[in-house]
Structure 1
Amino acid sequence: MSQGSRTSLGFIIVAALILVALIGWGAGLYIDWLWFSALQYQQVFMTSLVSSLGLRALVGILMFILLLLNLMFTRKSVLQAVEASKSFRPMFQDDNVITINYPPFRADWREQITPGRLTAVFTGLSLLLGFLYSSTVSSEWTTVLQYFKQTAFGTTDPIFNKDIGFYIFSLPFYELLYRLVASAIFLNIVLVALVYLLTDSARGGLTKIFRFPAARYHLSALAALFFILKSWGYRLDQFRLLLSSSGVVHGAGYTDIHASLLAYKVLCILSLITALIIIGNIFLRRFRLTAYAIVGLLVVSVLLGGIYPSIVQKFIVLPNEFNREAPYIANNIKLSQQAYNLDTIEQKDFPAGRTLQAKDIQENRNTIENIRLWDWQPLQQTYSQLQEMRLYYELKNIDVDRYKINGEQRQVMLAVREMNQSQLPQQAQTWINQRLLYTHGYGVAMSPVNEVTGEGLPNFFLKDIPPTPTTDVKVTRPEVYYGESDDGYVIVNTKTKEFDHPQGDGNAYTQYESTSGVKINSFFRKLLFAVTLADYKLFLTNDITNDSQVLMYRNIKERIPKIAPFLSYDSDPYPVITTKGEIFWMWDAYTISDMYPYSEPFDKRGNNYIRNSVKITVNAYDGSVQFYIADSKDPIIQTYSKIFPSMFKPLTEMPADLKEHIRYPEDLFQVQATMYTLYHMTDPQVFYNREDKWVLPTEKYGDEEKPMEPYFTITVLPGEQEPEFVQIMPFNPQNKKNMIAWLAARSDGDNYGKMVVYEFPKQELVYGPMQIEARIDQDTTISQQLSLWDQRGSSVIRGNLLVIPIKDSLIYVEPLYLQSQQSKMPELRRVIVAAGDKIVMEPTLDLALQRIFGEGAVPSKQPPPGVSVQENQPGKPTEPVPQATVRELAAEAGRLYDDAQTKLKAGDWAGYGQSLDQLKQVLTKLQEQS
């Protein structure tokens, strides 16, 4: 094959690859358009697409023009160099005879360079580099749109007195412009210098590019532009000082303001002077002066930008650090509190040392009945064993919420039963089964947080397939097409009926009743879907009809960010059952920024501003997505509302039965609680010395000490009248284990989003979580019982320790689970309660409260199913007796008797006596119950 043929073949292959890539890109773009249209978010799609492509096109075109202009300026020099080089022939000497190496059979390459061909090469090179350069801004379209649609914060920074919006919206845009222009000029300088070097080489090996006027004028002009731009860069760096992390706190400190800021101002002027010197030397031809100016600028930048600030820091700041940094610490405290909404937290005193009475427990039964005894980790295993029903179902996550159950506000735990196709038998994982047949999950499992059966298992409010309710919460649309599963796309309304749910010895089947998917109603669309989804079987199957729909992006953690990639999201979406019986997903979204001046970052990426600005709902059946503005005061979400005017709805438009289930987001609360450990201190002196620093507590979970996580509960906050759904986090003082305060975030009604911190008197001791854990370990009765359980083929799982506020005091509750070695189904078997100096362990929470506060702590009530009632005795009210408790006590008595006999035979008289004492206690309880 000739050289020309190989070249032509190469061009054909490259062109074919480009064509295939363009077809794939176009197909994906069209499918995305159809998908956004099905969700009624065409405007969002078009705004994002036009902005992204428009920005790339603008940058690419400008870069193309800039490159082409600069290359065309070198065109005359290149042609002159080629002409000059034609008279030069490479020669070499052989036996004292000089010969010219110019073979007559080979054409001189210089003859191939013509003005037209050179222009074509420059144009092609400029196009290629412009296209590649434009790809660097593909994700920057939000920065540009935020700049043009920005909203003022109404708060100014303390140094330059600029609105905070300048740092959030304008400064990132200016820095983007600076990076683009500076890199473009630098690239042009390198490219032009390379061309002049090559042309000088063609003249005969010369390498002094400033020898020729054209090169001198051209490169000097580009260099002058670069230093003019550099002056603007130093100006922008001044504002960046307010995000500095080099001082005692985040933000500009004494050294930044009195040394670094001065350096940037001086360098800003020197860069302009350097540019003027370069321009002047175009005519004066004193290029050493240009070199001196550039070197001088570099020396000054090192002296003023590096050495001088170090001297100021070491000799002026450090000897008297607090007095120098005090005003800047105050700036950091004030703006950090603003960035995290900590300045809105209400501070209240919480008395310590108050003793609860039995009547206090009775008067707060709503709080007691909503204390969470089930932790999500053991409950996840128990749910899996009891409610997954079939191997292809999966209850992925356990979530906490509150519902009106038979007229009462109850805290519940619930999980959606989703399809997990990977758990189908290997032979059943066919294309038909995965794409057409097993398309959705089915139903919800729900149980109260505090109820347990006699076997130590959750008492379900919703269970089984079809969902069977034991309360007034019902599910009428149990099919789950959208959730947290990763099963990929499915096709509905095909000739193959969809599996709905198991039914007796067979299965029930169904047809999808919504029109929310993307229809495959033509051969063209079928082909495009096959290309986009990289699935040729979709194109070949005969099961698809004109009514068939593709349901894509069914995992909500992929679905929602595809619509709104500019938001950040909470780690835990949770399901909601509406009054109509539909299943929705609710997900919290945040607006964040790393540009809030003086604010301390909360993550490794430097983000230092956060708002829970958006609540998102997704219908689990049809996948419809709605965005509701939860914080209308946030300027960032106001800006996005201007960019996407039809996307966001006010929270008042959320349906009431969904609005009842909004809750304060967990990730935001964790961030705020962490930041509040420092930023509850408002005095700069106290803050500098960390005199009153708090820390987040730890607890013992299982056998490990772990950081305590925020938890939800229903309680009556001090000073309030009605129980409400709140999230709580206790605090410890630094280097100590006692409790110093606790933070509550409210979630109900008009109080949503309000936060209150309750502080204990500093002179009083209030037990912290780890101190309670230590008391549990030191209690001989409890520790012996735990050791015995661990030795009898079971493992003890210590659950989360909850600190529950009741009136002006606290109680501590920790559940205990038993899990046999043969089963992965933990059972709730004991509840440990601590109040004041008392700590007890009983089979139920009510029994534990009775032991601490007396019989009057638990009121009489009608027994639930499965509970027997004592005969009436004169003068004594009738009380329900849990049959399960009697069985447990009887079994415990039998075990202790066996244990005592074993120790007797072994001659362990001390152990024998302990077992008899424990047996006596159990028999006494059994007698009381019977």
Structure 2
Amino acid sequence: MTIEYEGKLPDFIDSKQHRSATWGRRGIFLLAALALGIFVCGRIGLSYWVDLLWFQSLGYSEVFWKSASLQIIDFVFFAGTTLLVLYGAFSAIRRSHEADLPRAHAIIIAGEPINLSVQPALRVISFFISVVIGCVTGLAMMADWPTLALFWYTPHTTGSVADPVFGKPLNFFLFTLPAWQLVNNWLLTLAIAICAVAILFLIITSGARSLTKRQITYAPSPWRGLSIAVAFLLLVLAINVYVDRFQLLLEHHTIFDGITYTDAHITIYGLLLVCAALVLGAFISAYNAVRHSRGRWIVAAILPAVACYGVMGIVGWYVGNFIVKPNELVREEPFIAHNIEMTRQAYGLNRFAQREFPAETTVDAADAANNQPTLQNIRLWDWHALQDTLRQVQEIRTYYDFPGIDIDRYKIDGMTRQVMLAARELNVEKLPISSRNWINEKLIYTHGYGVTMNPVNGFTAEGLPTLFLSNMPVQSTVQGLNVTRPQIYFGELTDTDVYVKTRQQEFDYPQGQNNNLTSYEGDGGIILGGFLRRVMLAIDRGDLGKLPFSDDVNSQSRLLMRRNIRDRVAALAPFLTFDQDPYMVVGDDGRLSWIMDAFTVSNNYPYSTHYNLGESSVNYMRNSVKVVVDAYTGATTLYVFDSQDPILASYRRIFPNLFKDAAAMPSDLRRHVRYPEALFKVQSEVYGLYHMTNPAVFFNREDLWTVATESATDSNGQQTTQMMQPNYVLMKLPGGTGEEFVEILPFTPANRNNLIGWIAGRCDGPDYGTAVVYDFPKTKLIDGPQQIEARIDQNAQLSGQLTLWNQQGSHVLRGSLLVIPSGRALLYAEPIYLQAQQSPMPELRLVVLALQDKLAYGTTFQAALRSLFGGEVSSLNASEAPQSAPASQGTAQPSTDINVLIFEAAKDFADYQRLTAAGKLGEAGQKLDALKGVLDRLSAHGK
């Protein structure tokens, strides 16, 4: 084969056979492209159709149509505009180089001349590239549809807060600025792409000249296309620089976030000057395109902006180092004040009330008699230990699992009790290998079953949790507390699709040697319908080989998809951020529901400091929505709990039918809303720094708080130190009138172990969503969790016993240390478990209670309580009756001892009646013995 190149273009006429072959190849290519386009569009359309059916099954078809229309509009506009702009720019640049582009080349291959037409090929290539870039750009902009929708649906001239520098309303930063930045990035991408094409054409035409004339000549025309492209790029850069001035209010600095003295006096005006220089450069470059084009004028167009930027940098460096640094506090004080004020607003710290707490150290200061709700609801079950125990005694079958433990409050026998709930979910991954087939996984094993509920400090004689709800079918030991719909079709582990209302009955729960079966009676899911509809659903769900041909499926069968509640709510409202810890609620009607907290977040709140939320960085956060998901039907409802949130107000304008007011939430669910853990963690981190509202104190970090740390046991039984996690407790707040459910977290000074403060997020009634901060005296040392842990380790009896347990084929597990205000003192409580190496079920062996100046312990909570408040000697032996301290030791019983004993007697008698009614005579006898013991101590006290 020989290849010859003819520099002189020959006259060439294609033969009929050659034209036929060419059209044949083009036809095959077009058919392949058409088939690919139909396949891609078909799959996209099918996915949208299934999504529509899913939204309709939830009653939110309007939400689907609105979000789909917004996405389609974004895609069409940006993809079409990108295509037109790029292809128009390609055509204009190509025409500017038309004189230098070869029209045709003849290449002889194997004796056959092949005619190559350069310009038609460039047109096809430029159109294809424009289409590809346009589609990619359209898809990228479509993914950011919430940003553009918020901009479109929000008034931009209103806002409750105006920034102190530019005077712009809050809505400008939350909604307008993000949209501007998004569009600016799009324009910048177009401008860079056009410049790249102009440079490419310049290189091609220069090469063509070198081939045809054997030398490179420089004519004015080659620079015309590049001049136009550079002019467009400089204009886009000018717009970006102008918008970037507002970004200064979001910048991070060493001491604070937001605009600084240098930014306010130099950078803002310098950027305006750079912006003007860029516009001037754009005019110079455009003038170069219409007059005598020269490359040096393109360089001249860029130089003014470069010079202005350099001067701005030098002046800013001088001001920062020689004017600000020597007088930093004075110069930055007003800007620090802006940062403090706006950060506190952004994270809702204005809802935190501060109170002084004396943190006294005596037993009398704990006021046990008036704080019985607090004492009797101290959580002794650590959730790790409870989860391990439930997996042994309540999973019943290996394919069940308890993915999480939830803490809540319920009315039990007329009293509000703090309890722990665990949902028994089906984990198909744990099914025996022999049972892993399509019928079992899709038609039979479709749901979990029931919940367990136990008081936070209830233990049986065997060290197991005292269960209010347990077993399968669900059994209740509390009158009025029942589960009528125990099936869990939607939960945390339900990650697979299932088909219900089929001819195949579903496994409900094991019962002896047989299994109890059921059929789905709810209205959730997508109706499968006829054969064609089934085929289309099967294609979308990846089940084409089984679903259309199953005899068990009929036209009334239903597809339950997106059963994982996290995926479910994220698909319904992708613009919200969700707490990753949903919790189960048993309603008054016995139905099971999940409640999830949802947040609106932003990283564009002016002057506010950024903090991490998961993998994202935010500087604004509100818990505006509570989502309720029915565990049986999958019905999902979003309730608005913060009507003042501007972001949610905009989403309500976009989706008016998606949200309901908080007042519409059923009262039996409303009683169980709680302060969300994710928000509490972020607010606590922010409060550690931003409780300092004086700029001078803030600047010097004189009163920096950090979350307290505690000891923990790792998987190898080794002691480690970790930051304390928020705990939910039912207690009477100091100065309060009754018990309430709160989320608590203690604080220490930075790099210290002693306590400095304590925060409680309130969950009940009109106080919901607010928080109370108790400031401890700075003039005295108040033990922190690490110091209490050290006192436990240093106690001769406790240390020896813990060491002994760790050496006998078992290891000690230490539960979370709770720090709870009681009366005018701080009460510390820690459960200690023993876990044998051969048994994954921990047993509670010790309860340690402490005040600032006193440490007490016992094998039960009541024993530890008597030791702390009743003056009895702490004991490690469960069978050893505690003895009162001799009078010679000077240990006087507090005046509140009689009240404590009376409360214990009343509680033991109530427990005895309840257990007797439930037929648990053995446990009732133990309570009767305990009651006799309390009465004996009361009698002895009277003597």
Partner of 1:741: 757
Equivalent-residue separation in structure 1 for 2:927 and 2:541 (angstroms): 67
By how many angstroms is 1:781 displaced?
1.3
For 2:546, what is the secondary structure of its paired residue? helix
**Residue of structure 1 aligned with 2:264, choices 251, 257, 268:** 257
d(CA) in 2 for partners of 1:395 and 1:85?
73
Q: How far apart in 2 are the matches of 1:82 and 1:288?
A: 20
1:858 aligns to 2:910 (yes or no) = no
Matched, 1:181 2:187: yes
Q: 2 CA distance for matches of 1:803 and 1:400?
A: 17
SS in structure 1 at match of 2:831: strand
Query: Match of 1:729?
Result: 745
1:633 corresponds in structure 2 to 644
The Cα shift of 1:488 comes to: 0.4
Paired residues of 1:868 and 1:880 also in contact (CA < 8 A): no
Name the Cα RMSD after superposition: 2.8
- TM-superposed CA distance for 1:359, in Å, is 9.3
1:836 CA drift (Å): 3.3
Distance in 2, Cα, partners of 1:85 & 1:449? 86
Secondary structure of the residue aligned to 2:338 is: helix
What is the Cα deviation at residue 193 of structure 1? 4.1
For 1:147 and 1:602, how far apart are their aligned partners in 2? Answer: 24
Give the match for residue 886 of structure 1. Answer: none
1:166-217 deviation line (CA, Å, top 9, x unaligned): 111101111111111222122123224434543554455479797254x544
Question: 1:786 is paired with a residue of what secondary structure?
Answer: helix
Contact 1:867 1:880 (C-alpha < 8 Å) held by counterparts: no
* Corresponding residue number in structure 1 for 2:597: 588
Contact 1:846 1:858 in 2 (8 A): no
Picking from 811, 814, 817, the partner of 1:795 is: 811
Deviations 1:681-721 (A, max 9, x none): 01111111111111110111222211111111111112211
- Report how far residue 881 of structure 1 moved: 9.0
- Are the equivalent residues in 2 in contact too, given 1:412–1:447 (CA < 8 A)? yes
Question: Equivalent residue of 1:465, what SS?
Answer: coil
The 8 Å contact of residues 817 and 830 in structure 1, kept in 2 or not, is answered as yes
Residues in 1 aligned to 2:56 and 2:931: alpha-carbon distance in whole angstroms: 66
Residue 412 (structure 1) shift: 0.4
Kindly indicate whether the alpha-carbon contact (under 8 Å) linking 1:489 and 1:553 is maintained by their aligned counterparts in 2: yes
SS in 2 for 1:661: coil
| TM-aligned CA deviation for residue 8 of structure 1 | 5.5
Q: 1:728 Cα shift?
A: 0.8
Q: Does 1:145 align with 2:144?
A: no
Q: Structure 1 residue 128 and structure 2 residue 147: aligned?
A: no
AA matched with 2:175:
F
1:802 and 1:119 mapped to 2: Cα distance?
Answer: 73
What amino acid is the match of 1:339? A
Q: Which residue of 2 aligns with 1:439?
A: 446
Q: What corresponds to 1:63 in structure 2? A: 82
Asked if the contact 1:870/1:880 (under 8 Å) is kept, the reply is no
Distance 1:52 1:304 in 2: 44
The 5 Å alignment of 1:759-770 reads: 759-770=775-786
Write the distance in 2 (CA, Å) between the matches of 1:118 and 1:370: 78
CA contact (8 A) 2:241 2:271 kept: yes
| 2:507 counterpart of 1:510 | no
In the alignment, structure 1 residue 696 sits paired with structure 2 residue 702: no
Q: Structure 1: how far apart are the matches of 2:927 and 2:277?
A: 95
8 Å CA contact 2:202–2:223 kept in 1: the answer is: no
For the residues of structure 2 that align with 1:667 and 1:104, how far apart are their CA atoms? Answer: 73
In the alignment, the residues of structure 2 paired with residue 140 and residue 516 of structure 1 have an alpha-carbon distance, to the nearest angstrom, of: 30
> In structure 2, what residue type is equivalent to 1:170?
T
Amino acid across the alignment from 1:590: F
Deviates more, 1:26-35 or 1:68-77: 68-77
Distance 1:767 1:28 in 2: 59
Q: Are 1:534 and 2:542 matched, yes or no?
A: yes
Structure 1 alignment gaps of length 5 or more: 90-100, 883-923
Which of 40, 43, 59 pairs up with 2:62? Answer: 43
Which of 456, 465, 474 pairs up with 1:458? 465
- The one-letter code of the counterpart of 2:92 is F
Could you tell me how far apart the structure 2 residues matched to 1:740 and 1:415 are? Answer: 35
What is the letter of the counterpart of residue 139 of structure 2? S
Which residue does the alignment assign to 1:908? none
Contact 2:225 2:289 in 1 (8 A): no
Report if aligned partners of 1:794, 1:818 keep a CA contact under 8 Å in 2. yes
* Matching residue of 1:917: none
Q: Identity of counterpart residues, as a percentage?
A: 38
- For residue 809 of structure 1, what is the aligned residue in structure 2? 825
Q: Which runs of structure 2 are paired with 1:258-407 in the superposition (5 Å)?
A: 258-285=265-292, 287=294, 290-297=297-304, 299-300=306-307, 302-353=309-360, 355-357=362-364, 360-407=367-414
**In the alignment, is the contact (CA less than 8 A) between 2:587 and 2:593 conserved in 1?**
yes
Distance 1:690 1:109, change over 3 A: same
Residue 6 to residue 194, structure 1, CA distance change in 2 (3 Å): same
Measured in 1, the distance between the counterparts of 2:679 and 2:669 equals 20
Which residue of 2 is the match for residue 490 of structure 1? 498
**SS of alignment partner, residue 77 of structure 2:** helix
- Cα distance, 1:281 vs structure 2: 3.0
Map of 1:836 onto structure 2: 852
The residue aligned with 1:499 is 507
1:784 aligns with 2:800: yes
CA distance in 1 between partners of 2:797 and 2:503 (Å): 66
Once the two structures are superposed, what CA deviation does each residue of 1:640-674 show, in whole Å capped at 9, x if it has no partner?
10111110111000000000000000110111111
8 Å CA contact 2:52, 2:61 repeated in 1: yes
Contact 2:150 2:650 in 1 (8 A): yes
1:681 aligns with 2:692: yes
The 2-side partners of 1:83 and 1:371 are apart by 87
How far did residue 298 of structure 1 move?
Answer: 5.1
Give the structure 2 partner of residue 570 of structure 1. Answer: 579
Q: Deviations over 1:90-125 (max 9, x none)?
A: xxxxxxxxxxx9899544635x4687x876665444
Residue 61 to residue 736, structure 1, CA distance change in 2 (3 Å): same
CA contact (8 A) 2:488 2:631 kept: yes
Question: Who is 1:233 aligned against?
Answer: 240
Give, as a single letter, the amino acid of the residue that structure 1 aligns with 2:162.
T
Q: What's the TM-score, normalizing by structure 1?
A: 0.88
The aligned counterpart of 1:194 is: 200
Q: Would the aligned equivalents of 1:420 and 1:487 in 2 still touch at CA under 8 Å?
A: no
1:793 is aligned with what amino acid? Answer: G
What are structure 2's unaligned runs of at least 5 residues? 1-16, 714-718, 871-896, 916-922
CA deviations on 1:396-448 (whole Å, 9 max, x unpaired) are: 11110100111110100011111111111100111100000000011001100
Q: Check whether the contact 2:585–2:595 (CA below 8 A) recurs between aligned residues.
A: yes
Task: Name 1:605's counterpart in structure 2.
Answer: 616
* Distance (whole Å) between structure 2 residues aligned to residue 284 and residue 126 of structure 1: 29
Which stretch of the first structure deviates more once superposed, 417-426 or 10-19?
A: 10-19
Q: Hey, what does 2:424 align to over in structure 1?
A: 417
Q: For 1:410 and 1:155, how far apart are their aligned partners in 2?
A: 42
Preserved contact between residue 435 and residue 490 of structure 1 (Cα < 8 Å)? yes
Q: CA deviation at 1:541?
A: 1.7
Q: Distance in 1 between matches of 2:646 and 2:126?
A: 46
**C-alpha distance in 2, partners of 1:550/1:296?**
64
Aligned equivalents of 1:435, 1:871: Cα separation in 2? 51
SS in 2 for 1:211: coil
In the alignment, the residues of structure 2 paired with residue 584 and residue 432 of structure 1 have an alpha-carbon distance, to the nearest angstrom, of 28
Mapped to 1, the partners of 2:96 and 2:828 lie a distance apart of: 86
Tell me which amino acid in the other structure corresponds to 2:446.
T
Go from structure 1 to structure 2 and tell me whether the alpha carbon gap of 1:84 and 1:124 turns closer, same or farther (over 3 Å shift): closer
The Cα shift of 1:286 comes to: 6.6
Cα offset, 1:353, TM superposition? 1.8
Partner in structure 2 of residue 912 of structure 1: none
Judged with a 3 Å threshold, the aligned counterparts in structure 2 of structure 1 residues 239 and 210 are, in CA distance, closer, same or farther, namely farther
Trace 1:641-680 onto structure 2 (pairs within 5 A). Answer: 641-680=652-691
